[in-house]
Structure 1
Amino acid sequence: MTDLKHLPEGLALDPDAPDPDVPEIQHLPLDRWHRERGGRMVPFAGYHMPVQFEGIMAEHLWCREHAGLFDVSHMGQLVFTGDGIDVVAVARALEAVLPGDVTGLGQGRMRYSLLLNEGGGILDDLMVTRRSGDGSSGAGDEIYMVVNGATKYDDIGHLLEHLPDEVTINLQDEQALLALQGPEAVVALSRIVPGVEALTFMTAGAFNWGGHNLWISRSGYTGEDGFEISFPAEAAAAFADALTDQPEVKPIGLGARDSLRLEAGLPLYGHDLDPETTPVMADLGFAISKRRREAADFPGAERILAERADGPAVKRVGLLVDGRQPVREGAAVIDDDDGDVGRVTSGGFAPSVGQPIAMAYVPAALAQPGTRIRLAQRGKIHTGVVTAMPFVPHRYVRNGSK
């Protein structure tokens, strides 16, 4: 675990500065494991990562029907503790940069949130959880956060700048992180880690496998039921073997992860979210808790609350695209009178939908489901219709559901 409180200033506040001790493209703990199974490796977020194994279409459909294993060890796993202050004070400090209710999190409870700049723009989206420091049950004494891999050092710099000195940030760079997603994920995982079936969506707990401590949440970014599992990197290959020994599980690459999250209507940071985009524009207003809205004490509150009241000028929407040709990120939303009025931020063919889909930012007047849209890509005009998201129903297992 790397204590970031005392990192050299260059790394903490200038994450783009070269570090002679860190290779330009890093390797995941499972790098060899992926290659031995035919993973086609590509650079992504500073790491060599598998884009596909069997093929994107086949992997996508397998995950929708069975269970897919994703390596997301590139993500930043951060732990926040207090030096002379308790976990409630740590949570309160985090609320200076996040718009969610962190102090209200119970033990083993997690929440989607956003790291915001002073203007209310999104610096990253993330998951934050309250847990016990030793991984056992009992009173919570730390906050666990998972941030995007491509932005983790920027996030760390921003947090170091805005949190009080009493809050210590540790980057868990010795931990692997796997996501097991799909309707049969619980069947497969519970065979080797009994008890995980008791978790419900957005809850987490400590488990043990082969003498290794696991932190497992029932969460993910595919729209399917599933789990994210944090554990020591030294056990990564053995644990991945144990999972893929289950008949329901196959390894899945980045390509299918992207098409799955797109069908689920889930935004990807750096594409659908950026520092110029507010939570209201991105249709993520649910991430701002009622208490925080009433207090108006989060970054960019004045702008964000005004957008909630009056509506944003532009809004993220889903598009069903006519024909078979996908539209991709960067395609323009066009109007005969005004020219380019919006942009596509994610797009591709949706295997479970059977046609191309996309996300785009469009003027509020065009954001109503059913609105016909014209798109321009590489000199060719495409048409589509605004539709509600998700494109396929979420299948999370919540309290009281099966």
Structure 2
Amino acid sequence: MSETEENEQQETGTLPLDAWHRGKGARMVEFAGYWMPIQYNKETGGGIVAEHDWTRSNAGLFDVSHMGQLMVTGEKAAEELEKLLPGAIATLKPGRVRYSLLLNDEGGILDDLMVTNATPWIEGDEDAGTEGRWGEPAYYIVVNGAMKWDDIAHLREHLDDDVTLTHMDDFALVALQGPNAATALNRIMRGVPEQLVFMQSLEHDFGEWPLRITRAGYTGEDGFEISVPAEFAESLCDRLCAEIEVRPAGLGARDSLRLEAGLPLYGHDMTDTVDPVSADLAFALTKKRRETGGWMGFDAVKTLMESGPKERRVGLALEGRLPAREGAEIYAGDDKVGRVTSGGFSPTLGHPIAMGYVDVAHAEAGTDLEIMVRNKRLAAKVVTLPFVSHNYYRGS
């Protein structure tokens, strides 16, 4: 190994499950500043397509410890977060989760994130004559790994000093995803899955492991994200993978699954120059807060909502087998009308798919377009997202 390669390796961080992945034959790549598994040995049932298909039919276990886990606490926590996020935080009930966005003054997306009202319930003491009560307001936030240091700096700059921001860097985060995720988890933590539906979260002490379990994920399938103290992460993953439905899965399958689910990836489908209206993420702007404002970027986003965006994020289904990658130009006849931001081959559908931005005049589902790939024009059609239907569990 050259000196340059050694320096690059030293600059790339390792996560709590690094040795666990390598022990299972993972091919590691640099991602978001860390060594991460892109796939596992094909000889033992791994490989991107195999891991993708297994997650769609059973349950894949993904390491997402590169994500930033933050806790914001204090009596004014909700009020302060609402200065920066366009979602309703003050009305978010304990145990509930909300998808939201961190915006700049121009309405550009600095990051997308998940916010959980993690305010603890303090049991009363009957002997002491005290009743149960809610503790100090607390909000658990998960941000993208590549943006977490910028996000932390942004939050610390703009949140009031009365609010405490804690980076939970001593915790790992894993995602158990797939139609059999609840079945496998229920054998290990009896009764926990049935307490949750999509976008709900709870704390659970599993022996000496204090966990936060959230029914959510980034694959379009039912599943759970589990925050676990770093020292217990390997033991938890070993326990999960002991279940017949569960196999480890890497970044490659995670990306193909999220693309089929029509879920945007920050730094590709979203950037600080892309607004939530153009990105088709207006649902993250809580209705009442669209009217009242009071959050960073409100004026710019309000103008866009009133006038309409010039372009919009859409799904694109391609003919043939050749996938279109990020940066590929989109054409309507001789006119360039957009660009691809994410693309690949869909194992579930059996043909290439992509997401990208096109002029609003060409954003209607059913519109025929062409994408330039390797100096060839490939036929494509605008389709409604998601490409593969979501299977989130919302209750019986």
Q: TM-score, normalised by structure 2?
A: 0.92
In structure 1, the partner of 2:127 is none
User: 2 CA distance for matches of 1:240 and 1:166?
Assistant: 37
**2:126 counterpart of 1:139:** no
Which residue type is aligned with residue 121 of structure 1? G
**Alpha-carbon distance in 2 for matches of 1:236, 1:250:** 16
Which position in structure 1 is the counterpart of 2:392?
396
1:123 paired residue number: 110
Contact 2:342 2:355 in 1 (8 A): yes
Alignment RMSD (CA, Å): 1.7
Q: Once the 2 structures are TM-superposed, how far is the Cα of residue 133 of structure 1 from its aligned partner?
A: 4.8
Shift of residue 292, structure 1, vs aligned partner:
0.6
* Larger CA deviation: 301-310 vs 289-298: 301-310
Residue of structure 1 in register with 2:51 after alignment? 59
Tell me, yes or no, if structure 1 residue 328 matches structure 2 residue 320. Answer: no
1:341-370 deviation digits (Å, cap 9, x = unpaired): 211000000011111000010000000000
Which of 81, 84, 90 lines up with 2:77 in the alignment? 90
In structure 2, how many angstroms separate the alpha carbons of the residues matched to 1:300 and 1:153?
21
CA contact (8 A) 1:193 1:207 kept: no
The answer (yes or no) to whether the contact 1:93–1:164 under 8 Å persists in 2 is yes
Count matched residues: 374
In structure 2, distance between residues paired with 1:195 and 1:28 = 30
Query: Any residues of structure 2 matched to 1:315-354 within 5 Å, and which?
Result: 315-338=312-335, 340-354=336-350
Structure 2: stretches of 5+ with no match in the other structure? 1-6, 41-45, 124-131
Contact 1:107 1:139 survives alignment (8 Å)? no
Question: Any conservation in 2 of the 1:317–1:388 contact (CA below 8 Å)?
Answer: yes
Q: Distance in 2 between matches of 1:243 and 1:287?
A: 32
Paired position in structure 2 for 1:165: 161
Question: How has the CA–CA distance of structure 1 residues 270 and 138 changed in structure 2, closer, same or farther, with 3 Å as cutoff?
Answer: farther
1:71 paired with 2:78, answer no
Structure 1 SS opposite 2:11: coil
Match of 1:276 in 2: 273
Match 2:199 to one of 197, 202, 205: 202
- Determine the structure 1 residue equivalent to 2:370: 374
Partners of 2:120 and 2:329 lie apart in 1 by 48
CA drift of 1:302 comes to: 2.4
Structural mapping, 1:164-183, within 5 Å: 164-183=160-179
Cα 1:300–1:225 change in 2 (3 A) is: same
Q: Which residue of 1 aligns with 2:383?
A: 387
Aligned partner of residue 208 in structure 1, secondary structure: strand
Instruction: Name the SS of the counterpart of 1:69 in structure 2.
Output: strand
2:134 partner SS:
coil
Normalising by structure 1, we get a TM-score of: 0.90
SS state of the match for residue 60, structure 1? helix
Distance change in 2, residues 1:27/1:138 (3 Å): farther
1:235 to 209, 232, 236: 232
Does residue 1:305 correspond to 2:302, yes or no? yes
DSSP-derived class of the 1:283 partner? coil
- How far residue 195 of structure 1 moved from its aligned partner, in angstroms, is 2.3
Using the alignment, how far apart are the partners of 2:21 and 2:347 within structure 1?
24
Cα-to-partner distance string for 1:284-332 (whole Å, 9 max, x where unaligned)? 0000001111102222222222322332100000000111100001101
String of CA shifts for 1:227-278, please: whole Å, max 9, x gaps: 0000111011111000000000000000000000000000000000000111
- Are residues 363 and 135 of structure 1, via their aligned partners in 2, closer, same or farther at CA, if it must alter by over 3 Å? farther
Specify the alignment match of 1:32 in structure 2: 19
Question: 3-state SS of the aligned residue for 1:100?
Answer: coil
Q: CA deviation at 1:165?
A: 1.1
Measured after TM superposition, the shift of residue 377 of structure 1 is 2.5
Aligned-partner Cα distance in 1 for 2:51–2:133: 39
- In 1, are the aligned partners of 2:122 and 2:134 still within 8 Å (CA)? no
Counterpart-to-counterpart distance in 1, 2:175 and 2:200: 15
Q: Equivalents in 2 of 1:194, 1:216: separation in Å?
A: 13
My pick for the range that moved more, 99-108 or 161-170, is: 161-170
Partner SS for 1:294:
helix
One-letter amino acid of the counterpart of residue 329, structure 1: E
1:221 Cα offset (Å):
0.5
Provide the residue aligned with 2:126 in structure 1: none
1:67-92 deviation line (CA, Å, top 9, x unaligned): 0000000000000112xxx1xx2111
Report the Cα distance in structure 1 between the residues aligned to 2:122 and 2:330, rounded to whole angstroms.
49
Residues 135 and 206, structure 1, Cα contact 8 Å, conserved in 2: no
